[in-house]
Structure 1
Amino acid sequence: MIAALPTPVQALIDAANRGDTEGFLDGFTEHGTVDDWGREFRGRSAIRGWSDREFIGVRVSLEITGVTGSGAEYTATAQVGGDGFNGPSHFTFEVDGALVSRMTIRA
């Protein structure tokens, strides 16, 4: 059994899998950041541009295969599918209250 993700993280993953860009963006803090293999996208507009080109815009799918973490930081191992990158990846989320302040993607 895979450990549960905190609600803010699960909401981001669910929005991505639904193709719901607005729901995905609503899950980040005002100055939320996506770090995609060292490239940082900060704030709603920058995250939207990245997502339109490389995430939800290419019909990403995330199948969570493992979860570690506690408190404010969680890492989800996922099998990524869609019309962009496909393969295993690690997504580390920093949670700030009811929202995510940072999502970091690595191998």
Structure 2
Amino acid sequence: MANNQFQLPKSVETHFQATNTSDPVAFLSTFSEDAVVIDAGKEYRGKAAIKAWSDRDYFGDHLRLEVTNAVQDALEIVVTAKCDGEYDKTGLPDPLYLDFHFTLDGDKITRLRNVLSSNSRAVPLPQPIAAFYHASDVYDDALLAGCFATDAVLADEGMEYHGPEAVSGHILEANRDAKVTTEITGCTEKNGDTVVTATLSGSFEGSPVPLDFHFTVENGKINALNIVLAGA
């Protein structure tokens, strides 16, 4: 399926187009000679190994990928895609969404890591909110702070945090300490805010807990976030 919504680097765009049009030559051309692919816990180094892997797991299984989201940070671009094909679906979510973590050098892919998506239900999210959850997952301080306006306010557990650095610092410290994982289950608009419902699990009392994240977004930045129990 063509990607008409997200502006992806040419090599990443070609990765998905070549997969969906069964073009292994174009697919392989996107990788550098010493590229590394990590897929299903296995590592493939160099074009010969990547060709053998893709011939089997992409083109042999007639893999089809529908891009549903993309987030860029300082080190990589992460593309979420809905997957289908003739692979063994035993024990896998249905539908299956994967996060494709691309590292680029110029116009070539130097590293690709494929993992189950943290947004496993592929709930559509506005770009700054999608970036918020990605940055929270990978503990990227700069990317997370960059999601917020300079006068942003976070309200969480009766406390307020002001400014991008204070907000991102609180979120990442809490996530690291409790080894938090997030499952996004819904997204609605309410009174001008975007409300994302997610279940958080980790090493904290009451885990797992469903929460509502009330985001106020203006001019592409989050300027207010209120985190409360779901349905409160």
TM-score (norm 2): 0.44
Report the counterpart of residue 57 of structure 1 in structure 2: 60
Aligned mates of 1:93, 1:47 — CA distance in 2? 14
Name the counterpart of 2:71.
68
| Residues 2 and 67 in structure 1, CA contact (< 8 A), matched pair in contact too | no
CA distance in 2, matches of 1:9, 1:70: 15
Q: Does 1:80 align with 2:89?
A: no
- Which of 81, 99, 102 lines up with 2:108 in the alignment? 99
Contact 1:32–1:42 (Cα < 8 Å) also in 2: yes
For 1:37 and 1:58, locate their aligned partners in 2 and report how far apart those are by CA, in whole Å: 15
Which one-letter code corresponds to 1:44 in the other structure? K
| CA apart distance, 1:70 | 3.9
Question: Percent identity, aligned pairs only?
Answer: 33
* Structure whose CA Rg is larger: 2
Q: Is residue 13 of structure 2 the alignment partner of residue 10 of structure 1?
A: yes
The number of aligned residues is 107
CA distance in 1, matches of 2:102, 2:35: 11
Q: Which moved more, 1:3-12 or 1:24-33?
A: 3-12
Instruction: Kindly report the root-mean-square deviation, in angstroms, between the aligned alpha carbons of the 2 structures.
Output: 1.7
In 2, Cα distance between equivalents of 1:63 and 1:81? 9
Pair 1:7–1:70, CA change in 2 (3 A)? farther
Structure 1 stretches (4+) deviating beyond 6 angstroms?
A: none
Q: Which has the higher contact order (CA 8 A, sep 6+)?
A: 1
> CA shift at 1:71, angstroms?
4.9
| Separation in structure 1 between the aligned mates of residue 23 and residue 9 of structure 2, nearest angstrom | 19
Partner secondary structure for residue 55 of structure 1? helix
CA deviation after TM superposition for structure 1 residue 39, in Å: 0.6
Alpha-carbon displacement from aligned partner over 1:12-62 (angstroms, at most 9, x marks no partner): 111111111111111100111111032111111101111121112211110
Tell me by how many angstroms 1:2 deviates.
4.4
Q: State the shift of 1:64 in Å.
A: 0.3
Q: Deviations over 1:77-106 (max 9, x none)?
A: 000111115611110100110111111100
